[in-house]
Amino acid sequence: MEWIQETIVHTRAELPEQTITRQYLAEHADEYYGILHQRDEWILRDSNGGGVLIRRQIGLPILEIRIQRPTRQPILVEYQQTRVIPSAYARAQPEANYENPPALPNTVVVRAREMWLRDNLRIYVDIVDGCGVFLSVDAVVDEIFSEMTCRRQVQVLLDTLQIPDSAVVSKNYAELLNEARAAMETHGDDMQEIRRRNFLELEKRMILLRPMPEDDEQPKTEEAICE
């Protein structure tokens, strides 16, 4: 199976208040893609937040995704994806140029991802189990949209949605989740309250995280959209 490669300008930001974002997307997005239920297992992570992960999505093939992030923020991401044969899932071997220090163990991230499309932008509202609610934006670099154009698009969108620079996070969800777990060990009651609010948000949106399919379950479609 050939690798699919793509370069994107990517950013994400905390999104405790979703009203402005949802109103804007309802009026200006070209297409509402729907809700994706994803389970990412990071099997390698590097110091810039890149690495290798195995992604499971309900009704879609299992994917191996390799992400390269030269810097933290603003982020230019190069990623590759390919299907993983279910029986080979446990044998997926990332390339050796990724570091995986003992301090960065495998981390599983579960999220409900709501997605809108506009021009070359993929815009997500992610509800991440154990972390909270985030806006995530991918601006795809191609022959029409240069890297500089993509960076401007992302900044204009953040300004339009009234998202301050202080809300932008450069860490990936695996890093944020590990930080949340560490905080829970120190401030357990506060973190339990955060998780309770996250669950209530999921329930309100009726986006319940359903169990992931087993390895031997056949995918329903070939379509998959990443990062």
Residue 103 lies in a domain: yes
Backbone angles phi, psi at 97, to 5 degrees: -85, 5
Domain hosting residue 96, numbered range: 4-205
Residue 213, domain member (yes or no): no
Please give the pLDDT value at position 135: 97
Helices (runs of H) and strands (runs of E) counted in the chain: 4, 9
The per-residue pLDDT for 49 is 73
Note whether residue 174 is domain-resident: yes
The answer to whether residue 75 is domain-embedded is: yes
Q: Cis bond leading into 74, ω under 30°?
A: yes
Q: What is the pLDDT of residue 66?
A: 84
Please indicate, yes or no, if residue 226 is contained in any of the structural domains.
no
CA distance 26 to 9: 23
Tokens of 86: 């279910």
* pTM score: 0.73
How many structural domains is the chain composed of?
1
184: alpha, beta or left? (left if phi > 0; alpha if psi -120 to 50): alpha
pLDDT at 43: 84
- 198 in a domain, yes or no? yes
Q: Is residue 227 part of a domain?
A: no
- 214 lies in some domain: no
Q: Domain containing 28 — which CATH number? A: 2.40.320.10
Q: Mean pLDDT for each 10-residue chunk of the chain (227 residues)? A: 80 92 96 93 78 86 82 64 56 42 66 96 95 94 92 95 93 87 68 58 49 46 42
pLDDT at 198: 59
